[in-house]
Structures are given as C-alpha cells and as structure tokens.
C-alpha cells in the first residue's frame, strides 16, 4: 500500500507503484499541466519518479515557486550544453547549475566564444526546445560511469565522479543524443521551456581555482512567458545604466587601477559620500551608547591562531614578517576589540559594552571575482562588538535589529531576514550553538519578523542573522548581519566580575549595518542611479550664470551658502545657459540656481531641481531653509 500525504494534509492511497506524474494527473489535470517537479519526502525530484510502498509526503512544484524555477532553469542549462556540443563537438563539459534569475554552463573550448557564437547557440537551443526531447534519468555504477565519460572524452565529468564515494548514486540525464552527468531533477521534456535568452560569456577558472584552466562560462536566463523575459531584460538594461562602475567614472567618485587590482582609490567627490555615511554612522551609534575604537591593521600570528582565523580563514588572509616573526593583515576586526576589552577588569555593572569600529580589513579574493566596489580586496567594515551578560543578550539583539531597520529606512530600502545555522567547519559545542541559535530566533520572534533559515551557513564561531536589502530594481544585497558568539570570549579568556564577586564569561555579538562602506556606496549608487539624496550629494547646489553681469552676485551667494554649510559650485563660463543646465543635470546635482539680471535686481534665486525642473523664484533665505530641512531630515527625492 502507498499513502501519499499532500501539502494540504489530504491523503491518496494506491495499491501499486505509481509515478508522481500519475499522482498529479489524479489530483487535477490543470495542476498536471502546470507541474514541473515535486518534493517527495522533502527532496526535490522529477515528475517521472516512481513512488514505492509506504507513507510519503508530496508537494507539487510549479513555476510559481523558487524550487520550480530552479528546475526549469537547470533544464535550460542542459539545452545550452546540448546546443554547444552540436555546434562545437570538441567542447568539453564542466558544470551547469541554475542560479538566481538564470543559469550558466562552463565549457573548455579552444578559443573564446564570441557574441556571434552566442546568437548561433541560442538558435540551436530553440531548435532543441521545438524538438520536445524527453529527459530520461538513469544510474550507473561508479566504474561504468567513469568509463562512459572517458569514452565521451569528458575529463571534467570524470574528475567529478572520481571524487564521489564508491557507493554513491551516479545519475545521468539523456535528451535525444545528448547525455550529461547530473543529479537532477529536470523538466519532463525540453518543450516545456517557453522563453530563454543567452546573456553573456565570461572566463571562469575550473572549480574557482586560479591555478586551474580558464573555462568559458555562458550565462543565460529563462522564464515561463515571453513577457516575463522581456521585463527581466529591461531590468538588466536599466541595471547597466545604473552600474556603479560606469557612474563612478562619470561622476568622478572612485577608480581602480592596474597598480592595485581590487584596491579602490576614492576621489574627492567619492570621499564626500563616504564621509557623509561615516558621520551618519557615528551620530547614530553615539545616540545608542556605542564607543568608537580603532585597532591595528597588522597583528601577530599568535593572535590569529588564538582567534581561530589561522585555522579557519588562512586562505583569505595576507601575511608579512616583522623582526623575523609572522604577522597577518587583519581580515576581520573582532580580535582587536577583544584585546581592548581585556585591557582591564570589568564588572557586571559595566556591561553591556558596545565598541564600534570603522575598521579597514584586507581579504584575498580571486582576481576573477573582483567587481568594482562590490567585491574588493580591502574594505572598511562598520563593525561593532557588544560584550554582555547572558541575560542581556535578547535586548542587545533587539537593539541591533532596531538600528538596522532605522538605517535602511533612511535610504528607503525594504529588506528580508535570513537566519544561518552551524556550518561543518565550526568551533564550539552543540550546546553552545543551540543556545546561540535559540537566542537569535527568540529575538526575531519578539519583533514578529519573518525569516528564512539557511542551514549550515553560519560563521565558524556562531550563528547569524543576515539582512538582505532590496534596491529599486528588485535586486537583493546582503549587508547587515548579527552574529552571536560564545567561542571568542572563551578563546580569549574574557571575563567580568558578577554580582557574586566571581569571574564570569561574557557573551559577544559581532554586527555590521552597512556591511562594507565600499559595497554600500556601490549599492546606493546603483539604487539612486547616481542621483544621491541631497544630504549625500557631493555637490548640493550649483550656481549658473546667464551673463557676466551676474558674477558678483553669484560669488556673494556662494559665500552665503558655504557659510550655511552647503556644498556649492559655481559655473561662470561664457556658455549658453541651456548647456550649463544639461551639464549640471549630467552631474546629477540636486539643485541648480539660474542667476540672470532679474535675479540680481531682485536679490533672489531661480531654482531648478534635478527632478521636477523649474521650481520658480525664491528668496535666498527661503531656499536655504528648504535645503537645510531636506538635509537635516535626510529626505529622499
């Protein structure tokens, strides 16, 4: 007897083995048409999977679910691989997973793919879809699987199989004359794919190791409807216009040079944005009882062994020698905070102690992963470390959540929350990890916040809450994090004197809000398309002359605005006013004041806004009051 328990709790019984596809048809013909895969006993699997005796839970997946779209796009990746093998028979296959909003496949080919190649491959993919080839899964013993891939001259697949356990289930998928090593699951046939597009090609090292061969990675996307694909492609075009690397150059904010790949140079206008963010950070942390500290960039090997970074993070660190002793450039700020905490004896009355640091850290990133300010090798973390008694944990976590919510609200960001639990490569006991994880969950529940659990994705020293903010294009970025840590205080032998006069171990929170100043600047540059809120804008007001006769009045205004604390520039060039306005618009200056004979005579200003155009004539002090209000309230246009 087979009992199927559906998502709504209803049951279906069968007295013989049955495929999931047959069960779905039994439930509803409409659902059968929409289904792409299923979760059988919690595991995502194909619709043609046969269900054997026993009691099983079953959840049918459609393209309305993330899991369903992942299956859909993974199948599109196999169609891509089949098209490449048809057109480039000597190409060797590596891997081809689904990713957020799309898929990719890595190939070993004699010469890089061109844009013309992508067009040809996409046409071949459409032919494969039209052929409506059935995807058939089969399994082979390890030796037979290796032999098959060797016969097909697929060395990367052979390498993957050899790393599997001797008793591992090794599965393949066949569609027409194409066979690929794959765990699945997949759509029932290629004809289920309705809309797809190849996007670009990039170099990618095999297994992400720069010591391995560079492969060609083709990126693509697919959707259930042509209209959804077109919407996505429009968003991609908008994202290109907003690319912070492009805007950073146009607005003269930052640059990265071959003398320091992954090490950004900030220009004067970029520094204004950076300093404005850091000043905002300092003001808000001071209000909440944080004390600012600064710790060294280079510290000795013994410290990093004690912190656990030497064993768990060494491959991401830079090293040097001083006086014949090993030192490391810090990849994280936390050990320095613990040294400061340990400099003196603390009472329970001193706790919580909140230490904030805008700390410069360095991490070794592969050259292929570097991306403007989003992925760099040195960056400033807006770190804070909170030392507290166990009974203060809940309130401190709640305080951090409220701070993150406030800061993101200033920029107009929505966000969602993820809770990450213990990874394989971690320190500490099961009891400590359970205690820490429960504390984070209790705080989230106390705030009535929805969250997703990421099993095994925590830091090596503790579980964490991650905040993923959403920009105006619907993209998400992981920025803020709260990490609860019972390990570091133990390793550094931190203590405080309790009410009983005895030594006790404090609990520690690691947390960031921006995450990385550099990356946050990249995110807001793209979010605002370079048109920053006036409080962040490198130039807040630009004074534009119509004739030379207004120059004296403009210089007087410039002095007044600077005295009021505004960032102001003048444009007194002998150019047409329309040209000056267009140039200021290109520079994304929030306010342009056009000054001609009428304004000189009336001692007023004609105001043009970056958004909204002509705002009319104002008294100077009226305009100053308006601008001051927008800056003080950190208003968003």
Measured in residues, the chain has a length of 637
Burial class of residue 105, CB neighbours in 10 A (0-12, 13-18, 19+): buried
Cα end-to-end distance, the chain, whole Å: 64
What are residue 121's phi and psi, to 5 degrees?
Answer: -65, -40
Which of these, 555, 522, 521, 530, lies nearest to 610 by C-alpha position? 530
Burial class of residue 79, CB neighbours in 10 A (0-12, 13-18, 19+): buried
Q: Which residues contact 323 (CB under 8 A, 6 or more apart)?
A: none
Burial class of residue 236, CB neighbours in 10 A (0-12, 13-18, 19+): middle
Which of these, 319, 536, 309, 340, lies nearest to 425 by C-alpha position? 309
Burial class of residue 258, CB neighbours in 10 A (0-12, 13-18, 19+): exposed
Catalytic machinery residues: 334, 363, 381, 383, 385, 464, 510
Q: How many CA atoms lie within 13 A of 497 on its CB side?
A: 6
What are residue 174's phi and psi, to 5 degrees?
Answer: -115, 130
> CA–CA separation, 591 vs 575, rounded Å?
19
> CA–CA separation, 288 vs 315, rounded Å?
36
> CA–CA separation, 580 vs 590, rounded Å?
14
* Contact status, residue 570 vs residue 583, Cβ threshold 8 Å: no
Count of other CB atoms within 10 angstroms of residue 30: 9
Alpha-carbon distances of 185 from 97, 400, 449, 574, rounded to whole Å: 11, 41, 33, 67
Is 471 in a helix, a strand, or coil? Answer: coil
Q: How many CA atoms lie within 13 A of 633 on its CB side?
A: 9
> CA–CA separation, 278 vs 291, rounded Å?
14
Residue in the block written with tokens 């009891």: 431
Question: What are the structure tokens assigned to 276, written together?
Answer: 């404005």
The 8-class DSSP code of residue 459 comes to B
User: Virtual CA dihedral for 207, 208, 210, 214, nearest 10 degrees?
Assistant: 70
> CA–CA separation, 181 vs 160, rounded Å?
9
> CA–CA separation, 36 vs 185, rounded Å?
10
* Contact status, residue 39 vs residue 23, Cβ threshold 8 Å: no
> CA–CA separation, 158 vs 146, rounded Å?
6
């Amino acid at each position: 007897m087979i009992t199927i328990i559906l998502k709504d709790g209803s049951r279906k019984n069968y007295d013989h083995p049955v495929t999931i596809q047959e069960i779905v048809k039994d439930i509803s013909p409409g659902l059968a048409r929409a289904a792409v895969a299923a979760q059988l006993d919690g595991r995502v699997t194909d619709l043609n999977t046969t269900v054997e005796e026993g009691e099983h839970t079953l959840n049918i997946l459609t393209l309305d679910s993330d899991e369903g779209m992942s299956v859909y796009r993974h199948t599109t990746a196999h169609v891509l691989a089949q098209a490449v093998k048809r057109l480039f028979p000597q190409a060797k296959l590596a891997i081809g997973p689904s990713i957020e909003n799309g898929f990719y496949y890595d190939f070993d080919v004699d010469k890089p793919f061109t844009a013309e190649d992508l067009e040809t491959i996409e046409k071949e993919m459409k032919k494969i879809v039209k052929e409506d080839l059935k995807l058939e899964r089969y399994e082979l013993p390890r030796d037979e699987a290796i032999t098959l891939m060797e016969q097909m001259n697929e060395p990367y697949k052979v390498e993957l199989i050899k790393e599997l356990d001797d008793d591992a289930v090794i599965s393949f998928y066949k569609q027409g004359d194409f066979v690929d090593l794959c765990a699945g699951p997949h759509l029932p046939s290629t004809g289920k794919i309705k809309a797809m597009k190849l996007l670009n090609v990039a170099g990618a090292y095999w297994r992400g190791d720069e010591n391995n061969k560079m492969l060609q990675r083709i990126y693509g996307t697919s959707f259930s409807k042509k209209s959804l694909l077109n919407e996505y492609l429009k968003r991609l075009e908008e994202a290109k216009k907003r690319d912070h690397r492009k805007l950073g150059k146009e607005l003269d904010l930052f640059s990265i040079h071959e003398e320091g790949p992954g090490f950004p140079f900030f220009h004067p206008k970029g520094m204004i944005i950076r300093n404005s963010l850091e000043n905002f950070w300092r003001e808000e942390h001071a209000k909440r009882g944080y004390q600012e500290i600064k710790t060294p960039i280079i510290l000795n090997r013994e410290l990093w062994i004690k912190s656990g970074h030497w064993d768990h993070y060494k491959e991401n660190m830079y090293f040097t020698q001083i006086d014949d002793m090993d030192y490391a450039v810090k990849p994280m700020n936390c050990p320095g905070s613990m040294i400061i905490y340990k400099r003196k004896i603390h009472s329970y009355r001193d706790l919580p102690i909140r230490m904030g640091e805008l700390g410069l850290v360095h991490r070794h990133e592969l050259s292929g992963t570097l991306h403007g300010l989003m992925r760099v090798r040195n960056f400033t973390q807006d770190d804070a470390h909170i030392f507290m008694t166990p009974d203060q944990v809940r309130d401190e976590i709640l305080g951090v959540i409220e701070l993150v919510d406030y800061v993101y609200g200033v920029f107009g960001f929505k966000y969602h929350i993820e809770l990450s639990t213990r990874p394989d490569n971690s320190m500490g006991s099961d009891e400590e990890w359970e205690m820490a994880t429960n504390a984070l969950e209790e705080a989230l529940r106390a705030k009535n916040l929805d969250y997703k659990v990421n099993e095994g994705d925590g830091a090596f020293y503790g579980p964490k809450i991650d905040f993923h903010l959403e920009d105006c294009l619907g993209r998400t970025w992981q920025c803020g994090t709260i990490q609860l840590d019972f390990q570091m205080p133990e390793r550094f032998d931190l203590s405080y004197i309790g009410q009983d006069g005895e030594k006790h171990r404090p609990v520690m929170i690691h947390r960031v809000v921006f995450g990385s100043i550099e990356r946050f600047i990249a995110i807001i540059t793209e979010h605002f398309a370079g048109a920053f809120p006036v409080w962040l804008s490198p130039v807040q007001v630009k004074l534009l002359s119509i004739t030379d006769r207004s120059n004296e009045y403009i210089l007087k205004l410039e002095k007044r605005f600077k005295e009021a604390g505004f960032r102001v520039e003048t444009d007194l060039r002998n150019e047409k006013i329309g040209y000056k306005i267009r140039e200021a618009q290109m520079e994304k200056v929030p306010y342009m004041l056009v000054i001609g004979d009428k304004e000189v005579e009336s001692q007023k200003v004609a105001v043009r806004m970056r958004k909204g155009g002509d705002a009319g004539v104002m008294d100077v002090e009226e305009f100053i009051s308006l601008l001051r209000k927008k800056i003080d309230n950190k208003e968003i246009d």
